[in-house]
Chain A
């Protein structure tokens, strides 16, 4: 851990009827840390992610941001506390242009005089300035991912949560995204949920591996990803 804990989860549980998606997870993230959540499909990482950003209210347990409990708070309140979220399925304003979409993000945190400039900077940083006047609903999947990321980074949040940010991107876009996430981690703490192991190896400093709603392993990326249990989970031996 690089600094004092920014985000902590304690005994986090999420049940949907009789199904337990997350079964008591403890987690801690330091200031300025870049952390990846990995695991096979159905491991509970996306449910865990949604509890962090307020999209789901935990059945039990607590989530604390800088020591303040945020478990069960509405997503808008958590966002205003400095948490930026990129969802698994791109969540955009399809009828608006890329610029108008990012303006909505910057309007939420800045006065009008500064909002436009910040939106332009965010689009430029994501390399999509040329798409500023394009309607988001007509963009290609990878471009939509980049516009959504521009919306998130434009607010300059303290904590950035990214759920499968590289999904549907081209090789060049993934490379650029990897560099960008590493750069973002210099000014914000970042949690990335991801499947792509090559991408994780490239960006992650620390990794938490989820399996069947629990934390299977946690620690430095190289060490955890070399763990035999983690390999078993990914190769399906545990299930067999």
Chain B
């Protein structure tokens, strides 16, 4: 492990400690509810960071897996005794759907912008479909799909064996944050394996990877399915933080997640998570100004647009890679200065100016 990697893990560990110890100690319920929503979205961002940043697969419809898992969880949770089982089914459904979609795309040799269009279309089809499920005929067992309104009665996760004691918002927050860190670790570990190295190689040059004996379709399918499963985890936690609604599949959600990844830094895992938290916090902050006298000046959408434009123009690599490059330059400069100082000391005293 390099020094940079060690520092990275140290910072991630410190962030986990802060989120899991310091924030709950503060005890602000609103902060924790917002925190669980942010963490759910951050898991979605992480899933796109994995498949786009590391495998080069730009899914414009990553929210499809997020929303699908949310709905499957809500429907299964309302019909089954066990919400943890519903959560497992939901994540498996998101992974399975990603595997099915990925199979057709990768075996059909679809890539680049066409893949983006297909994934976005799939997400928007789900959005349109769920939107029109308002009638009573759209009820699965005990679960009405609810059309535009979603399923406000989405069940809250409860410990196994205690279905009548659902988790409190504070506990859902802890669970969401812990899941975010677990997903981060899974992504990092996956990329350190032979599978991860092959995925990165395929992103760099698919043709060369094939000439070395890699069936690139299988690797792309594997990473796409993992991305779908992670987005599914985010969807389940989002369903527990708010409730499921068609907006989980919307164009806005799909666009936002791409923006978080770009602003945070493509090709990193922590960057998109940071991007998600910062932009969500900014959005929430601006939204709370919306009723005040400053409304005309600080329209949230306008401010958000300016921030994003500045980020894209000024920080082309994204926040985290820019910060790392800056840190790297500082370290190099410090080393050069120290090197010059040491050389100066080694010179005989009479030669020094």
Measured between beta carbons, the chain A residues less than 8 angstroms from B201 are 93, 96, 101, 104
The total of chain B residues at the interface (CB under 8 A) is 18
Q: Which residue of A lies closest to B213 (CB)?
A: A79
Contact in complex: A93, B213 (CB < 8 Å): no
Residue from A74, A80, A87, A96 in contact with B200 in the complex, judged by beta carbons closer than 8 Å: A96
Binary interface encoding of chain B residues 183-214 relative to chain A, with 1 for a CB under 8 A from any of its CBs, else 0: 00000000000100110110111011111111
Cα separation A85 to B201 with both chains bound (whole Å): 16
CA of A109 to CA of B194, assembled, Å: 11
A104 engages B211 (CB within 8 Å): no
Contact A108 to B204, CB < 8 A, known contacts A100-B197, A103-B197? no
Question: Is A20 engaged at the interface, CB distance under 8 Å to the other chain?
Answer: no
B106 to chain A, nearest CB (A): 13
Residue in B194, B200, B203, B205 whose beta carbon sits within 8 Å of that of A91 in the complex: B205
Give the secondary structure class of B's interface. Answer: helix
Beta-carbon nearest neighbor of A101 in chain B: B201
Rounded to whole Å, the gap between the CB of A101 and the closest CB of chain B is 8
Considering the chains assembled together, what is the distance between the CA atoms of A107 and B215 in angstroms?
Answer: 13
Kindly identify which residue among A77, A94, A104, A151 contacts B198, using a CB–CB cutoff of 8 Å.
A104
Q: A91–B208 contact, CB under 8 A?
A: yes
Q: Nearest residue in A to B267 (C-beta to C-beta)?
A: A95
CB contacts (< 8 Å) of B215 on chain A: these are 74, 76-77
Q: Does A92 contact B (CB under 8 A)?
A: yes
B211 touches A93 (CB 8 A): no
Q: Please state if B205 and A76 are interface contacts (CB–CB under 8 Å).
A: no
Are the CB atoms of A108 and B213 closer together than 8 Å? yes
Residue of B nearest to A161 (CB): B211
Closest to B200 in A: A96
Is A46 on the interface with B (CB-CB < 8 A)? Answer: no
Complex: A16 Cα to B93 Cα, angstroms: 44
User: B194–A155 contact, CB under 8 A?
Assistant: no
CB-based contact A91/B207 at 8 Å: yes
Residue of B nearest to A151 (CB): B212
A104–B210 CB distance below 8 A: no
Q: Which residue of B lies closest to A111 (CB)?
A: B194
| A92 vs B211: C-alpha distance when bound (angstroms) | 11
With a cutoff of 8 Å between Cβ atoms, the chain A residues found around residue B197 in the complex are: 100, 103-104, 107
Complex alpha-carbon distance, A151 and B209, angstroms: 11
Q: With an 8 A cutoff between CB atoms, is A153 at the interface?
A: no
A94, B201: Cα distance in complex, Å = 9
A79 close to B211 (CB less than 8 A): yes
Instruction: Say whether A108 contacts B208, CB under 8 Å.
Output: no
Alpha-carbon distance between A77 and B215 when the two chains are bound, in angstroms: 8
| CB atoms of B200 and A105 under 8 A apart | no
* List of B residues within 8 angstroms of A155 by Cβ: 212-213
Shortest beta-carbon distance from B268 to chain A in Å: 14
- A sample of 14 more A-B contacts (CB under 8 A), given A93-B201, A104-B212, is A74-B215, A76-B210, A76-B211, A87-B208, A87-B211, A92-B204, A92-B205, A93-B200, A104-B201, A107-B197, A108-B198, A108-B213, A108-B214, A115-B194
A-B contact pairs, 16 of them (CB 8 A): A55-B207, A55-B211, A74-B210, A75-B210, A76-B210, A76-B215, A79-B211, A79-B212, A92-B205, A104-B198, A104-B201, A108-B213, A108-B214, A112-B194, A151-B212, A155-B213
